[in-house]
Amino acid sequence: MLASPTTDKHPIFRKPQIFNRFPELVTAESTRHGGVSTGYYSSLNLGGSQDTPENIMQNNLIFFTALGVPFETVAKAHQVHGTDIVTVTKADRFEGFDALVTNVRGIQLAVTVADCTPILIYDPVTGAVAAIHAGWRGTVGGIVEKTVATMQTNYGTRPSDCAGYVGTCIDECSFEVGDDVARHFTEGYKRWDESAGKFFVDLKAANRDQLVKSGLKPANIEVSPYSTVLHNHDYFSHRAEKGFTGRLLVTIGRIS
């Protein structure tokens, strides 16, 4: 279960507990609280939207300062709902990638979401980390499996050594889709609802199972109990807020 950084009623981030046994690691998942943005983006908007760049930058500084991470060490990507992976050797902003991997200490990987599924992976043997943004297209495209395979190729990662986290995203009971989306998912991850005349898709289960299929041990995987829709008071949701919303940020990196 996610742990909040304080006993405050509205923490600015929560920490996946699966990584607690690794003191060299900095990991967190932001909430929507504690920032400077107003209106639709209130208040800790950390990514792409119609919010002002100045607010987004100030929110990033608030968030990463709270983690003790210098912002100049953060590596992000302009995400495109695909399956391309960038191998990061220096902190930068990369174009057109939905997953980032590195084994370099002092680089903090980050992805932003507002209903899509964030996934974090840590290999404590080689020191490799990964941050993944899995939209429904990325999920059916196997972005999690591809990322684990990239870690194996790049760093000699053994998946059985890894810990993984499937983060807060839209929940199954809220992800209502038409046949155009549902047909891409196997029966185990979609449910037909007769009264709604729609399918419902479970992105958390689909991405967790990709971690298991890749070789991670089920006991080494944590799945967030939170939903961007059901817990919209704490998290931004593109669907619940009809597109007028901010972005959450999920991050992982080893201390330099």
H or E, element range at 102: strand 99-102
User: Global pTM?
Assistant: 0.96
Kindly tell me if the per-residue pLDDT of 151 is higher than 70. yes
Output the furthest CA–CA distance in the chain (Å, rounded).
54
Two tokens, residue 244 = 């007028």
pLDDT value of residue 3: 58
In tens, the pLDDT along 65-83 reads 999 999 999 999 999 999 9
Task: Give the percent of the chain with pLDDT over 70.
Answer: 97
Domains of the chain: 16-171+204-254 (3.60.140.10)
- Cα–Cα distance between 94 and 231 in angstroms, integer? 30
Kindly tell me if the per-residue pLDDT of 139 is higher than 50. yes
